[in-house]
Amino acid sequence: MTTILATWEQPGKVAIETASRAIQDGADLRTILEKGLAACELDPELLAIGLGALPNSDGEVELDGSMMDGADLSAGAVCSVRGIVPVISVARRVMEKTPHVMIAGEQARRFAISQGFRPQNLMTAENVRRYDEWKQSPAEVERAYVHAADEHYGDTVTMIGWETPGHLVAASSTSGLAWKMPGRVGDSPIIGAGIYADDDAGAAGATGWGEELWKGMASFRAVENMRRGMNAQEACDETIRQMLRRQPRCVDMMCVVFAASKDGDFGAATTTGEFPMWICQDGKIEMRKYAAPGA
Ligand code: GLY
């Protein structure tokens, strides 16, 4: 049996429905997650991932992606990639075709081109319009990050998949925060921050404010909590509780961690707000909402 989790209502729906079809086609876990995230990246309507995502403060779309396989801790990631989609597929190539874990920026773009990806303009009429609107408002430019969070533009899609008995893969794709400083990288492509998977314990993923999630090493911490005997919900709650204790700013924007244990239970928690997560299990798709621990 294969189960898949995907973050956020609108992009997560695209990811989970695509993943569900890939399960029916008999695809392996890596391919199921890659297809789910690639479908989001190629959808120009989704403003926080891939083609048509909201750009950085220079008006350039910069993408991050990562994948980790819990069978042997294989991992691959790319960050600050311009003009290439889907970057989740490039991250998978880094994992499978190179001895490295991460390739950054222009060199990641060149690696992608060497692997047959075609460079393209990721700016659509809609994200050019939104960028021009943002740029013309000095007050908005001043409060760039807060604006991005308020409007939920920073909705990274992170996915976890597992198949019985006890094999897990995690993957993530994002354009990061809208209007970010060029070259800024958040948690999503960072193994341990944005994703982590270890078949001995479980897998976890993060979404939301990348700086805080990275400082808290949210995904690794959740997996280590499961290794110490917590179930997935307890592991997420404890990770978020620790962030709330040690990182006072982590309530300024949503910081989310979600996890699946090697036994197949799953859960999620957020520092603030309400987090929607899609689940595809036994051929059925449903969305559940999660809050801060004890809320
Ligand atoms: N969580 C995505 C980012 O902050 O880049």
Is beta strand 63-69 parallel, antiparallel or unpaired with respect to 74-81? antiparallel
pLDDT tops 80 at residue 144: no
210 lines ligand 1 (CB under 6 A): yes
Q: Is the pLDDT of residue 150 over 70?
A: no
Average pLDDT, the chain: 94
Q: Mind listing the pLDDT tens digit for each residue in 82-139?
A: 999 999 999 999 999 999 999 999 999 999 999 999 999 999 999 999 999 988 886 7
List Cβ neighbours of 166 (8 Å cut-off, separation of 6 or more): 199, 262, 263, 264
Percentage of residues of the chain with pLDDT beyond 70: 95
Checking if the pLDDT of 149 tops 60, the result is: no
Q: Given its phi and psi angles, is residue 26 left (phi above 0), alpha (psi -120 to 50 degrees) or beta?
A: left
175 lines ligand 1 (CB under 6 A): no
d(CA 243, CA 251): 9
The predicted model scores a pTM of 0.96
Residue 207 CA to ligand 1 centre (angstroms):
6
